[in-house]
Amino acid sequence: MTTVLDAIVAGVREDLAVRAEQVSLADLERRVADAAAPIDAEALLRADGLSLIAEVKRASPSKGALAEIPDPASLAVAYADAGATAISVLTEGRRFNGSLDDLDAVREAVTIPVLRKDFMVTDYQLWEARAHGADIILLIVASLTDDELVRMHTLAHDLGMTALVEVHDEGETQRAVDAGARVIGVNARNLKTLEVHADTFSRLVPLIPPGIVTVAESGISGADDARMYAAQGADAVLVGEALVRGADTSAMVRSIVAAGARTEPEHA
Residue 238 bridge partners (DSSP): 53, 217
Residue 185 bridge partners (DSSP): 166, 215
User: CA of 220: how far to CAs of 75, 188, 192, 212, in Å?
Assistant: 19, 9, 19, 21
Write out the catalytic residue numbers. 55, 57, 117, 166, 187, 217-218
C-alpha atoms less than 13 angstroms from C-alpha of 242 in its C-beta half-sphere: 22
Helices (H), 88-212: 100-109, 123-131, 146-158, 170-178, 200-204
φ/ψ bin of 7: left (φ > 0), alpha (ψ from -120 to 50), beta (otherwise): alpha
